Structure 1
Amino acid sequence: MKRLTILAAGLLMCVMSFAQQALWGVPQVISPEIHENNTVTFRLKAPKAVKVQVTGDFLPTQKIKTPYGEFDAPGFADLTEGKDGLWEYTTSNQLKPELYSYSFIVDGLKTIDPNNVYLNRDVASITNIFIIGGERADLYKVNKVPHGTVSRIWYNSPTLGMERRMTVYTPAGYEASGKRYPVFYLLHGMGGDEEAWIALGRTAQILDNLIAKGKAKPMIVVMTNGNASQEAAPGESSAGLVPPNTQLPKTMEGSFEMAFPDVVKFVDNNYRTIKSKSGRAIAGLSMGGFHSMHISKQFPDLFNYVGLFSAAILPNKDAKSPVYENLEGKLKVQFSKKPALYWIAIGKADFLYKANEDYRKLLDEKGYKYTYYETGEGHIWKNWRIYLTEFTPLLFK
């Protein structure tokens, strides 16, 4: 008996040891530290480093050129080395309310802040995040309000010939209410996936808070994967732990648009929805705005509310899908059916600004009614969160 007791005690200590192993790396440095005046201090222990910088969207931007155009990119600030190799930087200005992302650069190597466990993945980039509360940014926080449910659901797409995954938000009380709800289909941008709007866009927090304030109708939000060659987000499918990539096949060549009725059919068959045009909205950012535009005109009886957030407009010259044929004819049919809302938003510095301006000129020439919302800055998540908070309260009135 004594031997059994000693063995049991040993096993218990072993289990406790493994259970506690995650605590061995508890950070000893506070970073970021948000001060009462909304300045922020960043710290990194790097005694062998020669140069440490911080980069993030709280800093003044700089222009960079890419194959997709010229973008505003976050600037840089130098940290100062102090005692025992502790590097530090405090913002010179008070930061406005917003959700911010940042990274460190140590001797030329970009890395995360090891003292901040809060991270987001945007395609293949991992950054730390923090929130300065107040004003609109309070919508991005988890507040003491009734909370909806976020589920990852697999569905069959006969058109694409595969099982695929979507993320679905159902509002607080959905499970027990017995009611039917309108559905908002919310689409991500190039390189994104069904996780993007939940993680980077703060969709669940925004919907919870807007609904609780009575500023938005309770609704189901469906966020499916817009890359027609993918089952699901990287690491979440049978493809395994593949690197995220923006250069995916079947993104803007018509496959996703033609398969979208599969998504609507599945949602209508598996959720308590309002199964009519008046109970459906579609919107998306960048590539998702492109998809929203072309899906809504291809199937003009599906959606009564359409939102284009920093949208790409025209397909590449190589895209031969019938989805993109007869643009003006399809728009004529769509607008003849009088959508309740056609909403276009973009930032002044967005590389797609000119394309959106030209598209609005076409709509103006034809006398098609739409609502336009313009912000500063460019092709960034800050703007897309703003657009979501502005567009959602207009739905299903």
Structure 2
Amino acid sequence: MVLFTAFALAGLVAIGLASVTIRKTGRAPTGYEVDFRYVNATAKRVLVGGGIQPLTDQFHATGTSYRFNGRYDPWKYQPGDFYVSNPSPQLPAEPAYKWPYEMKSSGDGVWTYTAPLPSGIYSFAYLVNCNYAPNCSIDTGQLVIDPDLPPFMNVHGDQVASSFQVPFDANFQASPELNTNFDYALDAPAGHRGTVKTVNYTSPGSIHPAQDVHDFSIYLPAEYGSVPGKKYPLLYLSHGAGGNGADWENLGRMSHIMDNLIRLGHIPPTVVVTPSFYNLDSEGPFFIYGNKSLSVPVPPAPHVRGNFQKYLFPWVESHYDVCQNASCRAFAGLSMGGVLSYEMFVNATDMFDYYGMFSPATNPPYIDAASVAANPALLKKGTMVAYGLYDFVFPQARDLQTAFDAVGIRYINRVSPFGSHYWNTWQDALWWFGIKVLWKPLPFGVQTGRQRAASV
């Protein structure tokens, strides 16, 4: 059985793709194999990198150094193995370790590689005559996006990797140690699929994608537009440092996760907006993936919050059928987007009733008793703190929880047992945010998360 990967371009009908093929084999080690095919007649060496990683297991993993992870070749997969976000090695700087995802060519310019990957989301690009992704450049042709699997993005250069999702096979991937079934991010059945597209909106002072124009991506549930006058719950979902508003769809398959949360009755049909927090104005750094380093400073969270309150939030509410009160609005984000979510929680408390801080890269000072005394509404919100067991922000996330504990803020906590600072963790966080937090009764208590969908 051959499953060709499919990718929805700006909400259009999905298309079949042949450069990356996902095949159900029904045999070890994972029950699935992924074939990569790339044509380049002049290349001397091609690696699959830019996001795809070796595997490890929870008994040989650490959150502090990639050198102590298992770093197994996928052909050596055993049930319970998973990948963590570690920088790909600069070959041949480590002669004792060989990067597993090396493509081969018979001399005709057609490069191929096959890997038996387990369930999960994988982002990738081709590294041409380059051994280390951070040293590769699109401008020089060393980092190449798969031409047959273009990423979801607003304008050219906004993304530098493609992605695909591998299903779960219980016959080969089931493990007593942990559950690594990510099928909630696969396509929902026909009739349950929402649409996702990029939108340019008026934002005075913005410098990308055009002067005074900024952008976001939006997910509209399958039901949207079919019930006259209906207003839908609204979730804002932020990217992290070095990202943009298309990340959640391109790298995290957000729309698929939302489709399945809605289809299974965990949440009512919900609109999701994924904004971009770079390039809001000329005061901040200019950043797009295609021509800037990921070391570009992140705009201060209070500055982003003020801009969104002034331009983004009113624009969304005036152009879409979404609710306009806190009880059916939520804000969540990953990494520095988790910092932005915390900023919204503390300083835009009345705008949202639900907050998700995924792998939050927060730092003190945190809220204290005086903060809560001045803003008692903080005690009445629905909040989730989620991160991975191998996440490098683990200490910061725990410090944030300690601050919440000290002032009596109740929250839901999810520690992904396979998670690092990467998309497997954030897919997991969004999934459980939907099941346990979104639109659940407030204030949170010991029964929170035991209910299913709530009426909003």
In the superposition, the TM-score normalised over structure 2's length comes to: 0.65
1:15-67 CA-partner distances (Å, limit 9, x unpaired) = xxxxxxxxxxxx9x965453412133444566766544333535237838xxx
Match 1:166 to one of 210, 216, 236: 216
**Bigger share in strand:** 1
Cα contact 2:121–2:251 (8 A) shared by 1:
no
SS of the counterpart of 1:395? coil
Shift of 1:254: 2.2
Counterpart CA distance in 2 for 1:108 and 1:79 is 13
Q: Structure 2 vs 1, CA of residues 114 and 250 (structure 1 numbering), >3 Å: closer, same or farther?
A: closer
Q: Say whether 1:63 aligns with 2:66.
A: yes
Cα contact 1:229–1:249 (8 A) shared by 2:
no
* Aligned twin of 1:72: 86
Counterpart CA distance in 2 for 1:284 and 1:123 is 22
Shift of 1:334: 4.9
Q: Percent identity?
A: 25
1:1-397 equivalent positions in 2, closer than 5 A: 31-32=20-21, 34-36=23-25, 37-44=31-38, 51-55=45-49, 57-60=52-55, 63=66, 72-74=86-88, 76-77=99-100, 78-80=102-104, 82=106, 88-91=112-115, 94-108=116-130, 110-112=142-144, 116-119=148-151, 126-134=160-168, 135-141=181-187, 143-157=189-203, 162-177=212-227, 178-227=229-278, 229-230=280-281, 243-248=291-296, 251-252=299-300, 254-262=302-310, 263-314=312-363, 329-334=370-375, 336-375=377-416, 376-393=418-435, 394-396=437-439, 397=454
**Bigger share in helix:** 1
Q: Structure 2 vs 1, CA of residues 174 and 244 (structure 1 numbering), >3 Å: closer, same or farther?
A: farther
Shift of 1:192: 1.7
Cα contact 1:191–1:244 (8 A) shared by 2:
no
Cα contact 2:372–2:379 (8 A) shared by 1:
no
Q: Structure 2 vs 1, CA of residues 348 and 275 (structure 1 numbering), >3 Å: closer, same or farther?
A: same
Counterpart CA distance in 2 for 1:226 and 1:130 is 25
Cα contact 2:19–2:149 (8 A) shared by 1:
no
Shift of 1:377: 3.3
RMSD: 3.8
Shift of 1:205: 2.1
SS of the counterpart of 2:182? helix
Shift of 1:207: 1.6
Q: Structure 2 vs 1, CA of residues 225 and 81 (structure 1 numbering), >3 Å: closer, same or farther?
A: closer
Shift of 1:282: 0.6
* Aligned twin of 1:7: none
Amino acid at match of 2:54: L
Counterpart CA distance in 2 for 1:253 and 1:173 is 34
1:178-217 CA-partner distances (Å, limit 9, x unpaired) = 2112111111111222222222222222222321222221
Amino acid at match of 2:66: K
Q: Structure 2 vs 1, CA of residues 327 and 298 (structure 1 numbering), >3 Å: closer, same or farther?
A: farther
1:119-150 CA-partner distances (Å, limit 9, x unpaired) = 46798762343321244335332541333333
Which residues of structure 2 form unaligned runs of 5+? Answer: 1-16, 26-30, 57-64, 68-83, 90-98, 132-141, 169-180, 440-453
1:203-233 CA-partner distances (Å, limit 9, x unpaired) = 22222232122222111212222125359xx
Counterpart CA distance in 2 for 1:97 and 1:274 is 36
Counterpart CA distance in 2 for 1:326 and 1:138 is 35
Amino acid at match of 1:349: Y
Amino acid at match of 1:149: T
Counterpart CA distance in 2 for 1:264 and 1:31 is 38
Q: Structure 2 vs 1, CA of residues 157 and 295 (structure 1 numbering), >3 Å: closer, same or farther?
A: farther
1:57-89 CA-partner distances (Å, limit 9, x unpaired) = 35237838xxxxx96234621445547565544
Counterpart CA distance in 1 for 2:198 and 2:40 is 39
Cα contact 2:53–2:85 (8 A) shared by 1:
no
Cα contact 2:359–2:394 (8 A) shared by 1:
yes
Larger-gyration structure (1/2): 1
Q: Structure 2 vs 1, CA of residues 228 and 250 (structure 1 numbering), >3 Å: closer, same or farther?
A: farther
Cα contact 2:239–2:334 (8 A) shared by 1:
yes
